[in-house]
């Protein structure tokens, strides 16, 4: 239980760290003092302090140096080392009054796997929390805050819940869970919420899963179901799923087999991959939204951010969904835009 002492010493040493900055309560970033970081680019900051199991650690993504705070001080600021050692020693032998800083209460949620998952429902976070701010900036509707999670260690989250042998950065992420019909999490996307050099999205899943369906079990299959490319896009539509991953674009999961489907792909006529998806769907007689030329936004989230509301976007989709010959004609116009 030394994380608050670690944090104190990180702050004490931060004065001699170039471009030091707290990115969140548990993540700080600076230029690496061990390797000196990039010499070409003086703004590159690849040193990270992060919290794990109630202690802070340092790691540089440039030179790979990783250490406890104690060893970090030993290398970078030996004058603080003695004081640090005494303080952490006392801490471990003195019963302490309640900590001022409230530790997040991580509660486990429905899962096949046993283990305490370090994740928190977004609806339980304060509005000031960086993850909450992230979803607020994207205007993600509040009803979704109960279904999304924040984790301070995506790798931990995945290793406990998901059958995935890949390791991920031990950093905080917004977690978008994929659940089966019993509400068990079987896959998850981790979206980066602070600036950084790691990929924006990670998708953790078992090897056997080819394509993942977000929100599959919560859509009403007796009403038209919209299929979009991104889970976040699906959150703005009243009855939508998102398909993520590889596999034939026309393949549907059993649950959607008899439903009326409208495909709503990104509005990117310059993207060869996406254009080929449109073509495949039209060739297979699927109903698909062909965005009118008046729409400049590239996806549903962008449309919402540009000021449209959910009903307007849905109306636009409904009015511009076609199949067969009509779809082909509209598609040919769309790709010339």
Q: What is the rounded radius of gyration, in angstroms, for the C-alpha atoms of the chain?
A: 24
How many whole angstroms separate alpha carbon 291 and alpha carbon 288?
A: 9
Q: Is 69 in the site for Zn ion (CB under 5 A)?
A: no
Of positions 12, 25, 63, 275, contacts Zn ion by CB under 5 A: 63
Number of residues that bind Zn ion (CB under 5 A): 6
Q: Are 267 and 290 in contact (CB under 8 A)?
A: no
Question: Between helices 78-93 and 69-76, what is the axis angle to 10°?
Answer: 160
Q: Are 139 and 304 in contact (CB under 8 A)?
A: yes
Q: Shortest gap between Cβ of 124 and Zn ion (angstroms)?
A: 36
Q: How many residues does the chain have?
A: 337
Q: Shortest gap between Cβ of 41 and Zn ion (angstroms)?
A: 14
Residue 236's SS3 state is coil
Q: Shortest gap between Cβ of 197 and Zn ion (angstroms)?
A: 13
Q: Is 34 in the site for Zn ion (CB under 5 A)?
A: yes
Of positions 30, 32, 161, 261, contacts Zn ion by CB under 5 A: 32
Q: Are 303 and 276 in contact (CB under 8 A)?
A: no
Of positions 55, 62, 271, 323, contacts Zn ion by CB under 5 A: 62
* Cβ closest to Zn ion, residue 35 vs residue 194: 35
Tell me, residue by residue from 145 to 184, as one string, x for binding to Zn ion by CB under 5 A and - for no binding.
----------------------------------------
Q: Is 76 in the site for Zn ion (CB under 5 A)?
A: no
Sole window of 53-61, 111-119, 217-225, 245-253 interacting with Zn ion (rule: CB under 5 A): 53-61
How many whole angstroms separate alpha carbon 221 and alpha carbon 109?
A: 26
Q: Shortest gap between Cβ of 46 and Zn ion (angstroms)?
A: 6
H-helix segments, the chain: 3-14, 69-76, 78-93, 130-137, 154-161, 231-234, 272-283, 300-305, 310-319, 324-336
* Cβ closest to Zn ion, residue 75 vs residue 280: 75
State the residues that interact with Zn ion by CB under 5 A.
32, 34-35, 60, 62-63
């Amino acid at each position: 239980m030394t994380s608050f002492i670690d944090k104190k010493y990180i702050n004490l040493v931060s004065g001699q760290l170039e471009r030091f900055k707290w990115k969140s309560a548990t993540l700080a970033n600076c230029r690496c003092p061990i390797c000196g970081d990039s010499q070409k680019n003086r703004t590159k900051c690849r040193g990270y302090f992060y919290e794990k199991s109630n202690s802070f650690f340092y790691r540089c993504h440039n030179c790979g140096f990783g250490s406890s705070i104690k060893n970090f001080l030993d290398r970078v600021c030996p004058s603080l080392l003695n004081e640090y050692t005494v303080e952490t020693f006392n801490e471990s032998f003195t019963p302490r009054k309640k900590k001022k800083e409230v530790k997040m209460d991580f509660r486990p949620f429905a899962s096949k796997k046993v283990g305490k998952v370090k994740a928190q429902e977004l609806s339980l976070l304060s509005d000031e929390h960086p993850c909450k701010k992230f979803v607020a900036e994207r205007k993600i509707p509040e009803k979704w805050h109960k279904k999304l999670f924040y984790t301070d260690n995506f790798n931990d989250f995945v290793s406990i819940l998901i059958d995935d042998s890949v390791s991920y950065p031990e950093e905080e992420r917004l977690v978008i869970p994929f659940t089966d019909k019993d509400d068990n999490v079987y896959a998850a996307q981790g979206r980066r919420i602070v600036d950084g050099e790691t990929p924006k999205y990670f998708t953790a899943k078992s090897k056997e899963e080819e394509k993942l369906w977000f929100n599959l079990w919560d859509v009403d299959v007796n009403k038209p179901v919209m299929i979009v490319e991104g889970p976040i896009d699906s959150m703005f539509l009243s009855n939508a799923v998102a398909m993520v991953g590889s596999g034939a674009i026309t393949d549907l999961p059993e649950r959607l087999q008899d439903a009326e489907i409208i495909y709503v792909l990104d509005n990117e006529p310059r993207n060869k991959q996406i254009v080929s998806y449109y073509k495949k769907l039209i060739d297979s007689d699927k109903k698909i939204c062909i965005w009118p030329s008046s729409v400049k936004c590239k996806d549903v989230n962008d449309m919402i951010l540009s000021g449209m509301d959910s009903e307007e976007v849905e109306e636009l989709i409904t009015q511009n969904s076609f199949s067969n010959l009509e779809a082909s004609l509209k598609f040919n116009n769309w790709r010339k835009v």
